[in-house]
Amino acid sequence: MAPARLELPVLQNWSCHNCGGCCRQHLIEVTEKERQRILTQNWSAADGVNQLVMTWHAGPPWRKRYRLTHTADGGCVFLDDQGLCRIHAKFGEAAKPLPCRIYPFAFHPSGKTFRVSLRFSCPSVVANQGKPTTQRARELRGLAEELALPDTSTLAPPLLTRRDRLDWGDLLPFVEALDHTLADPASPLVVKLLRAITWTTLVGQSSFEKLRGPRIREFLGLLMEAARIEVPALPVAVDEPSQLSRLYFRTLVAQYARKDTVADLSSGFWGRWRLFRAIVQFTRGKGEIPPLQTGLKPVPFAALEHPFGPLTPEMESILTRYFRVKIQGMHFCGSGYYDIPFVEGFHSLVLILPVTLWLARWIAVSGGRDQLSVEDFSTALAMADHNHGYSPAFAQYAARSRVRWLAEAGDLSRLCLWYAC
């Protein structure tokens, strides 16, 4: 099979800065071959590794899946005191399991190519630190080969809406149109998102039975123009989202604020019980917010609802890059996001704006501040993106129907305005 052709994100830089964050946040699944390789590396207590508990198996006995063990402090068993990987230090990068080498990249089909996206759960991705991703073509091609990406001709495009599936040639103009909407340098990010919500909602209400080929681009041009007229600038007054929308939103935020790793608050029976009680508190939205991970404190829900000021230019720039990398990388629909259709996937992606700002307010108030710093904001974005597209909760009917409800009620736009202005 010919090697997969890759499209790399031009907006994003990245190099690992060895913070060790991914080695704490992610459960790494290893193949039997990788497990055997680790076993033959002869780890011992002298290396700081207990060789009896390097991997554990999850899942039923007839479908064993092995994972790297985490120690009591939450880090991978191979993470050393300096935050470096012991396998990497002793045997070189190629000796590490494939998921550790792929992170923070993700590959998604797009017609005849695969598009490369990045996970913003890595702080170096959020900060845009390191080498331009376009200079990693060789390395990424090597990883794609090891991943054995399927033949693109066998992969169906994502649904456009729940009713319509177009072929790749007709679907990709919608992706380009979204990126184009977000690229406008003359408008604030919130205005661009409101326009994108407006025209994608109209797409969701349209039928594409007879619309194909060049007429799709014409139709998109009309929709985008209509959205520009509908949303010329930030509205002067901001409507409060409805009580029901805020309840749905808090329930979604609770899922984004979770961190389900081995040593986390949600592990074991009591962990599950605590989590259940926390979800009930999020649903009520009264009293104090139950801290779902370390660093977050029990502050009153009400403390996050007063205005924290508009997005700073630096926050705008981080979020614009975030949305464009996810859109260009097809990291919001189809195989990049639980096989969810284009329109619904974009509406889920938009929620990252209010979710990040809500979490950033929580972090700021936890630290005794009433204004957001870029650090609060960046930490919140990394927290939200850790789960977006990866937590099974967002693929479930309940979460999907909440996003659809928010979109149909017009509250996606209201939530963006409420938390960003």
Q: Kindly list the residues in this chain that would bind ligand SF4 in the complex (CB under 6 A).
A: 16-22, 103-104, 122, 124
Smallest gap from Cβ 335 to ligand SF4, in A, equals 23
Going by the DSSP 8-state scheme, the letter that residue 340 receives in this structure is B
Closer Cβ to ligand SF4, 17 or 274, answer by number: 17
Tell me the torsion sign for CA atoms 292, 262, 67, 395.
negative
Shortest reach from residue 96's CB to ligand SF4, in Å? 11
To ligand SF4, the closest distance from the beta carbon of 85 in angstroms equals 8
Compute the distance between CA of residue 198 and CA of residue 186 in angstroms, rounded to an integer. Answer: 18
Minimum Å distance from CB 7 to ligand SF4?
Answer: 22
Smaller CB distance to ligand SF4: residue 16 or 374?
16
From residue 364, give the alpha-carbon distance in Å to each of 213, 293, 373, 415: 49, 15, 8, 19
d(CA 390, CA 122): 14
**Beta carbon nearer to ligand SF4, 67 or 195:** 67
CA neighbor of 99 nearest in space, from 167, 185, 28, 7: 28
Burial of 228 (0-12, 13-18, 19+ CB in 10 A): middle
Give the residue from 173, 159, 189 showing the smallest Cα distance to 324: 189
Distance of CA 30 to the CA centre of its chain: 22
> Minimum CB separation from ligand SF4 for residue 181, in Å?
29
Please report how close the Cβ of residue 118 comes to ligand SF4 at its closest, in angstroms: 10
Instruction: Output 15 or 371, the one with its CB closest to ligand SF4.
Output: 15
- Name which of 16 and 234 has its Cβ closer to ligand SF4: 16
Which CB sits closer to ligand SF4, 21 or 291? 21
Name the DSSP letter for residue 118: E
User: Residue 213 and residue 190: Cα distance in Å, rounded?
Assistant: 31
Name which of 37 and 101 has its Cβ closer to ligand SF4: 101
Residue 41 CB, nearest distance to ligand SF4 (Å)?
A: 20
Query: How would DSSP label each residue in 158-198?
Result: PPSSSS----HHHHHHHHHHHHHHHH-TTS-HHHHHHHHHH
